[in-house]
Structure 1
């Protein structure tokens, strides 16, 4: 009865605090979004789509954004783990915005309550567990994720760990099922936690399961996970297929950029009330500060651990030797920092150091190995210590959050980060932000702090209550964010007179806030939207964005080959190129209706061009006016290599393809590969039989053809130019205009016969 009443009190208290800490959101649940109208509005669109489609169907994989691309859902998180909270709200008549805000509020309430259940299970104390729930639910680090609902929904993690401990204690199958279900729903909520929390689960199973005494329980847990993972398999397969087809991947530089600075542990989120807005890092992802209370409890934990007696055993030369190696290389790093690069030669041997981060890397590895082989660690492993497991897990998550090349105040201090080792595992290469591994780390640190607190609280009831009360007040001050900034919703523009089958293209395209607003308006007018925003940008969208920025509106006609297109032109978008393009296309019909100054035009369905039925012939020789030595890459059969101008393209840049013999040339194909935006803006194609006398066969702007190629086969992004057949041996490609930024690149080229 006491346990039930304590849980009820905790649930009510967390609910009340959630309402207070998110004020004034509770007064605007249907017409405002927390913090900003960027990612929250985008996620609102995703929740709307999940509520109106059946998962894993063809329709579900093809949401109405990035038209005419198929499979656009695989560009970002699918958010299926939020469906129980958000789709039910919408099915009962609530708006997508209301559904988002309900999930937002529940993410704090349930994070606190599930952490309470976990810590009460481990400590046996409701008061300590209540403090732990506060520390995790309203942690300053979680406030730094206020725009990322899929990361805020992290309560499945403590629930899964709670269920796993209950299963080991009781052996009841229902706890194993809850464990697997919570793990599954956490993975369905966010791809990052699918991977990062799975690492925690694997470590938990290895640490806590008594494999020698009761292997059956471990096998039941693993079996339940296998079944849950099987439910994920169709989704993961769909993501893999679509992203491979689109040629999408993360670059090493991109992943490195989103690693956290080591000093991120002391930089708080700008949204917290009591801490200064000190943000020295390039991205908010590096604000790892978990609050003064949690850091203070962690310091107490370290102090307590050091003071614990340890049974002495025989001298372990391995541990001592590793410690000495670590000290030696720290001394080397310090010498470089003080004296600069140095070297000493003794006969044929030369010893020296030029940088600090390499010797520090060796010292770091040596000390980690020394700690793991110490007597204290062996005792902790033997006794399956929950305190040591959660403390070590938190430390490991913090170290992994440094990413590929750890930095200290922006300067490299280790040669490579331990996260680099994870890059060899499937799925890790697609995660852009290593810093987010700190989220399960904060949970583990909270649990470790609760375990330590339960041990050090005084036995005297009055003193214990005073200490708990002080910690509650400190935790509330630590996690306060009042008032919570709110964002207004974009205006909804009526589309009277616009055909239902027409796709909507809002101009200007490519600005984050406008693209997300266009997607949100799509939830209202229920038409396909050309604009889009996601974790990945598909190649066709980059081509479209740059073409429109260059004033090449023929790409709109290419879009209209799939279905009619409605242009919704913002009142502040003054483009003379657009107006000139409209006047030269009389079939582009203006609409009388306008809303909020938006002008609208309808581009009718355009005819589909006949396919180019020709045989592709690889040139036997290629020459270029610039980057001469690289021209051979155009015909090397490798899409990952390229020839490029190595500067912004200029009028007169020339490439000549030699077929080796006279053939009936009826076109040319240029594959851009991953460099889809490096297409020639205006190109002339000329033919010759002798390489001296040239006859122009084709000329014009290329953007529409580049868009078509990026849509048909994104990994190649092939531009196919067709013209009347002519006998020729040589094909000359020459640019006719300059561009201020982009190269001209060719990965592969073929003559079409």
Structure 2
């Protein structure tokens, strides 16, 4: 079968498909059977009368009722509209995406108020960030940059990904428990949006339903994401594919249909730009590469326009001008804030050796993380050879890989499209390896690191696996779509009377959904859902600034607890350790000695809280919990020691 498909089955559209009972004549007036190679079969007769005869035959053969001669009442029309909406492809796709996300993350939905995915490290930090955003937007929006943690440092909100795009949800947070609920709902939602966004993009590009569903599942539940379950900002990739789908739809573009001027939709273009800005505002780690992707697409589209001069509506140009300007200004504003932090805290910059430690190796993309239920144990020996397995085990999925390789050879996409997709995958692979690629990445990642603004802020190049997964998903969807097209072609060719367009039986198309089972099987996790520790003290009653000991990696718990009242705390965990924070930790090493108490007082610390249960194995393991320093009031509870350094 050729590269081109029957016009209805292979036409690229994100519109709601008509029900199967809708007669073909209502959608496609011309004869539907394509010749092998993609050319349409010749029409029977010429002129309007012959077309009308053909339509009558399609209507008669399809069993269509004659059109109503009177206009239905308002309530009847509303009822019909609601029924159509309930049966629409996009309602069903949205519902399936949510149900699938709930199932793949179960039983988290049963424990929204008490557990958190993966671990109590970064997830608690991100929960705290959400809590801070909600609190400060209600109380003092201009003070968002200076958090209560990392006292007394400025711009601490920018020390890690900001999750600013989740501000509407963050406004619902009023306590640590509500923050946990919001985080968990967003966590589940990231998978749902990734599936729905990828499905929308693939449908817009021209893939059939089964191919789009399987590929979307492969994108949303790729095995490498299991190792990133503690990083909400990495899982939040749905905005990327959704923005691309909106922009493609707004411009009337698909891989199978090319550019269709009559399908330009300025509203979708504007929505695409705003969605792209929302995606960037969640975090710069995924946002920076996304900006460069959009820039690259813009250059290609611009060159194509100069060469071909396709007809563009003024509304399309206006939507791009307005949306692109808002996107650019928003990105520059956020980037400028991060640049201020980079200048103020030189220790935040990552050198090549540091990045190399976290970068993938040649084998990384076929090694599963330990959280993988299917492949985790089998790949344990391979992970042992990695320097930092949580960021280097990047298996995209063997099912996806097999379908994508098949799609390079046999697909609904054209030969040149497959070549460009293969080149794109190769480029992403090279850049994602960072300094571990050929010649230390000197002609791939290193070029971006040296010359592309913002690229030096990316600590883990391997997270670009998201784009490799997306490209492979497009290739995989092409494979399954080609099979569906062939099945319909065979079914139609087998008919004696070919005037009525037919498809392969539904049970045949249902078989094309079978790979989704393998995809989801590879996406199963063994990672636990951890119980969140309760605060050992009443945080809202503490007189700040407060220092919790031991300090370090466990500070994420302190930040989470501080949602209760947001007292100033010197503790904090981020992508780097500020020198001033390291200095305060150093002062506290001898606590509660007189010298340590005096140094902390001079630094401005009012209260020190010691957690005896966390001291073993820490740098403060030898801390004397029985000592009563002179001039310090000590309150002892079952879980904490509270030192008031300025009691007198």
Q: Please indicate, yes or no, whether the TM-score normalized by the shorter chain is above 0.5.
A: yes
Partner of 1:227: 326
TM-score (norm 2): 0.74
Matched, 1:288 2:394: yes
Distance 2:585 2:387 in 1: 25
1:506-517 to structure 2, matched below 5 A, reads 506-510=548-552, 512=553, 514-517=554-557
1:464 offset after TM fit, Å? 4.4
- CA distance in structure 2 between the partners assigned to 1:288 and 1:537 by the alignment: 27
Q: Which residue of 1 aligns with 2:456?
A: 429
Determine the structure 1 residue equivalent to 2:534: 491
Q: Which residue is 2:335 aligned to?
A: 236
Alignment correspondent of 2:291: 198
1:31 aligns with 2:117: no
Change (3 A) 1:430 1:89: same
| Structure 2 runs not aligned, ≥5 long | 1-15, 19-84, 253-262, 489-503
Matched ranges for 1:531-542 at <5 A: 531-542=571-582
Which of residues 441, 444, 463 in structure 2 aligns to 1:418?
444
Q: Distance in 2 between matches of 1:471 and 1:198?
A: 33
Q: Which has the higher strand share?
A: 1
Contact 2:590–2:623 (CA under 8 A) maintained in structure 1: no
Q: Post-superposition shift, 1:94?
A: 6.6
Q: Is the 8 A contact 2:547 2:605 kept in 1?
A: no
Q: Hey, what does 2:475 align to over in structure 1?
A: 448
Does the alignment pair 1:73 with 2:157? yes
Partner of 2:344: 245
**CA displacement at 1:484 relative to structure 2:** 4.8
CA distance in 1: counterparts of 2:178 and 2:551, whole angstroms: 26
Cα drift, residue 288 of structure 1 = 1.6
Higher relative contact order (CA 8 A, sep 6+): 2
Q: Distance in 2 between matches of 1:274 and 1:579?
A: 47
Change (3 A) 1:494 1:405: closer
The aligned runs of 1:107-506 (5 Å cut-off) are 107-169=190-252, 170-208=263-301, 210-212=304-306, 213-214=309-310, 217=316, 221=320, 224-247=323-346, 248-277=348-377, 278=379, 279-280=383-384, 281-283=386-388, 284-304=390-410, 380=416, 385=417, 387-406=418-437, 416=442, 418-423=444-449, 424-457=451-484, 458-460=486-488, 461-462=504-505, 464-481=508-525, 484-495=527-538, 500-506=542-548
Distance in 1, matches of 2:267 and 2:537, equals: 51
Single out whichever of 42-51 and 18-27 deviates more from structure 2.
18-27
Which secondary structure does the structure 2 equivalent of 1:262 belong to? coil
Bigger share in helix: 2
Please say which structure displays the higher CA radius of gyration: 1
Instruction: Give the 3 Å change call, closer, same or farther, for CA 232–479 of structure 1 in structure 2.
Output: same
Distance change in 2, residues 1:414/1:63 (3 Å): closer
Tell me: CA distance 1:537–1:450, structure 2 relative to 1, closer, same or farther (3 Å).
Answer: same
Q: Does 1:54 align with 2:137?
A: yes
2:147 maps to what in 1? 63
Residue 526 (structure 1) aligned with residue 566 (structure 2): yes
Query: Which SS does the other structure have where 2:612 is aligned?
Result: coil
Q: Give the secondary structure class of the aligned counterpart of 1:164.
A: helix
Q: Distance in 2 between matches of 1:93 and 1:399?
A: 42
Deviation at 1:576, TM superposition (A): 9.4
**Counterpart Cα distance in 2 of 1:249 and 1:124:** 42
Structure 1 residues 560 and 233: CA distance shift in structure 2, 3 A: farther
1:695-717 Cα offsets, whole Å, 9 max, x none, are xxxxxxxxxxxxxxxxxxxxxxx
CA displacement at 1:132 relative to structure 2: 1.9
1:54 aligns to what SS in structure 2?
Answer: helix
1:149 to partner: Cα distance: 0.4
How far the C-alpha of 1:59 sits from its partner, in A, is 2.0
> 413-422 vs 547-556, which deviates more?
547-556
Q: How many matched pairs?
A: 518
